[in-house]
Amino acid sequence: MKKLLVILFSVVAALADNNIADEQYEVTAPIGRIRGSTLTSRLGKKIYSFRAVRYAEPPTGQRRFQVKL
């Protein structure tokens, strides 16, 4: 049982290591400043990640069935 836990922990630690941000970035957009980071994929490619960007009003009420812009 201990061996299984050690193997499981090792696999989780190895996978989690790939998702750690390499660098922090901040860009200025018309909606304001947005913070992001770079990640490295399993194939070694750089990925620019900007999370939780608010980009639209929810389609509720009067906006529910309007034509998209």
Q: How far apart are the C-alpha atoms of 8 and 51, rounded to whole Å?
A: 29
CA atoms within 13 A on the CB side of 51: 6
The per-residue pLDDT for range 29-47, each reduced to its tens digit, is 887 888 998 888 889 898 8
How many separate domains does the chain show?
A: 1
Q: Is 61 part of a structural domain of the chain? A: no
Q: Is 41 part of a structural domain of the chain? A: yes
Structural domain of 30 = 25-53
Q: Is 65 part of a structural domain of the chain? A: no
Find where tokens 């860009």 sit: 27
Q: Could you tell me the two tokens for 41?
A: 């994929």
Please compute the mean of the pLDDT values over residues 37-65 and round it to a whole number: 84
pTM: 0.44
Closest CA to 38 of 19, 15, 52: 19
Q: Is 31 part of a structural domain of the chain? A: yes
